[in-house]
Structures are given as C-alpha cells and as structure tokens.
Structure 1
Amino acid sequence: MMSTLIMSLVIVMISLIVMLLASILSKKSIVDREKSSPFECGFDPKSSSRMPFSLRFFLITIIFLIFDVEIALILPMILIIETSNIMIWSLTSIIFIMILIIGLYHEWNQGMLNWSD
C-alpha cells in the first residue's frame, strides 16, 4: 500500500515538473508586430489574410459528426441481437433511437438544419 502511494506521488511530481518546464520554455519573450503579421513579398497586405468562416457551416459540420458517431454506435447493435436478451436489446435500441429523434427534432426546431436564412 505504501509503495503504491509513494509511486503515485513520484509520478505526480514528475508530471508537474515536466509541465512546469514546458510552460517556462515555451514562452516567447519578444512579440514583434512584423513577425506576427502575414508576409506578402515585403508589401503591406492588400486584404485580410484571414478568410471569414461561416458559423453556419461549422454548426452543420458538428451536427454531421455527432450523427456520424451515433451511426457507429448503432451498427454493432445488429451484431449483438443474436447473443443478447431480445427484450433488453429492444428496449435499449428504442431508447437510443428515441434520443436521436428527439435531438434531431430539437435541431430542426431551432433552425440548425436550414442552410440559408
């Protein structure tokens, strides 16, 4: 018991020392405006170097990723139908799919699925 406690303390101390060294060594001492500005062959930039990003596109992407992960969770349910209790499997599947449908309805109700306003 005592050796586990000592080993845990050693691991925590080593982790804290590494994090402290990383934060000290990664600091930039001088921030230069010219070095942080975009480079265009020595001339001043004609326009902003950052392109505007559509927040609507980001939200649609997040919704796609969420439903993509949910599909990855649904697919193994087909494989375990033979080895599990059919009543528990049905109840679990119905609850999971109902949560997905309620989430989809909420996103649709909030207007997140409309690409253009």
Structure 2
Amino acid sequence: MKKYSFISIICIILLISCEKETNIRFGFDSRIDKSSEGLVIADISDGVDHIMLKGILNLSEGEAEVTLLNSYGDIVYSSIIKAPEQWSVEEAFAARPGYWKLKYKSHNGIGEIDLHLWKY
C-alpha cells in the first residue's frame, strides 16, 4: 500500500513540475467611445518565435486607428477603420525580443473592440 502511495506522490509532483506551453495574449476587449484610446505593452522574450495580431473591431460611427509597433519602434501594422464597418485581422509576425506596443485610438468612433496580440 505504501508503495502505491509513493508512486502516486511522485506522479503528482512530475505533473505539477512539468513546464506547460501556453498561449499568452495582450490587448483589448471593450467598448469604444468618441475619445477612447488604449495602449498595451507586451514583453516578447527570446523563446517566442511568432506573434499574432488577431481581432475584430465593430464601428457604428466615426473612425478608429489600430497600430502595432515592434521592439525597435517600427510600425509593422497600421489600419484606419471607418464606420459602418466590421473589421477583422489575423496576421502573424516574426517576433523580435523586446517591448512591442499595440494601440488604438478613436476618432469620434462608437463601437466595440476585441483585439489581441498573441505570443506563441
């Protein structure tokens, strides 16, 4: 009986201690009003090969701007969305280690945003 308890404890320890690969996301999931804006800064480490910009923006009025800057400050993605539109994006980028910035700015826009930067 003690032998089975010891083996069970070893198995539980091994399961808990194993490193698990997870997708981590940074971004926005909120309403947009005429003066809203957002900024998320993601720390991309050496172990990340790619990042994915994925999301939807629904505008019923005005405009909104979405921008992604890499760790060097270069704009790697930019789009201006004009209402009425349901805009979507799903685009992958080679990850460069450092701080990436995902931001949006409303220009009298009304709607919703569900936009994230995924590390994988």
TM-score, with length taken from structure 1 = 0.25
Structure exhibiting the larger radius of gyration computed from Cα positions:
1
- Greater share of residues in strand: 2
- Greater share of residues in helix: 1
Higher relative contact order (CA 8 A, sep 6+): 2
